[in-house]
């Protein structure tokens, strides 16, 4: 049998041309071994599906192709996962560095701000920064977006100590933030001093600022006591009877017969000198 190298058909030994495709035949070329051909040429080229050995060659070729493709895909998947892992690690490192830099810059900014304001006490609260001076307490809402919302878009508010009725402090715990709340004259608790869901006279703080909050609380509380004590004394002096009031009461005692006319004249003469 003479094998056709073009279509793979096996012709009779006496044939000079392929009866299927017309290709000139070479009697010296024999049919190749499918196993050897598969090893040398994994992809089927000139095999005819009707010829013997094609199915075996086609199956082996596809099997090798699938195994190669699987290995390539598996390697690509592992490489992709490694790339994703490296990207996540880099992103995490960059995020951590950004957070550390942000905190560092914020602490430096706070330090400069305290130095510039020359306050006696300072607390970095969530809703506002508190600066305590000798005569008043300052609420600074300009630090960030949250503080601006709390105070209707920023600004600085001053409250003198005699305007504060009381101050309440809740210590920070392991799960809850601490707070300082100021009851200010002229504000109705829960109504006028609240803006949305915020109370601009209520400041929360993180546990790491507990020492600063305690120091500011003790200072402000003492200032409130001193200012109220001065107001109370002034009110007491103001409510004492004056000379005319005393003279009026002396006349009433005279009319009642509790004192003599001579005693009344002595009191009258003394009180008239005080007017």
Task: Encode pLDDT of 75-84 as tens digits.
Answer: 666 777 777 8
111 alpha-carbon distance from chain centroid: 21
Sign of CA dihedral 45, 51, 57, 63: positive
Spell out the long-range contacts of 16-23 with Cβ–Cβ below 8 A and sequence spacing 24 or more. none
Q: Please tell me the total number of residues recorded for the chain in this structure.
A: 275
Looking at the domain covering 119-237, what would its CATH class be?
mainly beta
Cα–Cα distance for residue pair 35/64, rounded to 1 Å: 13
What are the structure tokens assigned to 70, written together? 């699987």
Helical spans, DSSP H, in 118-176 = 145-150
CA angle 37, 39, 41 (to 5 degrees): 60
Task: Encode pLDDT of 184-243 as tens digits.
Answer: 876 654 444 444 455 778 899 999 999 999 999 999 999 999 988 865 555 544 455 677
Task: Encode pLDDT of 95-127 as tens digits.
Answer: 877 887 877 777 777 677 767 778 899 998 888
> In this structure, are residues 250 and 265 in contact, taking their beta carbons and an 8 Å threshold?
no
> In this structure, are residues 271 and 248 in contact, taking their beta carbons and an 8 Å threshold?
no
Domain ranges of the chain: 119-237, 243-274
């Amino acid at each position: 049998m003479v094998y056709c190298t073009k279509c793979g058909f096996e012709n009779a030994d006496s044939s000079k041309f392929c009866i299927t495709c017309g290709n000139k035949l070479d009697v010296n070329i024999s049919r190749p071994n499918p196993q050897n051909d598969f090893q040398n040429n994994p992809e089927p080229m000139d095999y005819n599906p009707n010829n013997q050995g094609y199915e075996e060659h086609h199956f082996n070729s596809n099997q090798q192709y699938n195994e190669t493709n699987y290995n390539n895909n598996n390697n690509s998947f592992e490489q992709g996962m490694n790339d994703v892992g490296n990207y996540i690690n880099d992103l995490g490192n960059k995020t951590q560095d950004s957070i550390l830099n942000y905190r560092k810059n914020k602490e430096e900014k706070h330090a400069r701000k305290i130095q510039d304001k020359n306050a006696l006490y300072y607390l970095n609260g969530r809703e506002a920064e508190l600066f305590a001076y000798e005569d008043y307490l300052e609420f600074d809402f300009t630090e960030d977006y949250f503080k601006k919302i709390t105070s209707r878009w920023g600004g600085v508010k001053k409250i003198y100590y005699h305007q504060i009725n009381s101050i309440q402090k809740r210590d920070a715990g392991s799960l809850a933030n601490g707070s300082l709340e100021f009851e200010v004259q002229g504000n109705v608790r829960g109504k006028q001093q609240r803006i949305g869901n915020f109370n601009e006279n209520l400041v929360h703080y993180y546990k790491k600022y507990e020492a600063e909050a305690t120091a500011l609380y003790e200072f402000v509380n003492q200032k409130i006591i001193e200012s109220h004590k001065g107001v109370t004394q002034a009110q007491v002096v103001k409510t004492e009877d004056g000379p005319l009031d005393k003279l009026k009461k002396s006349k009433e005692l005279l009319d009642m017969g509790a004192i003599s006319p001579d005693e009344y004249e002595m009191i009258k003469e003394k009180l008239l000198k005080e007017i």
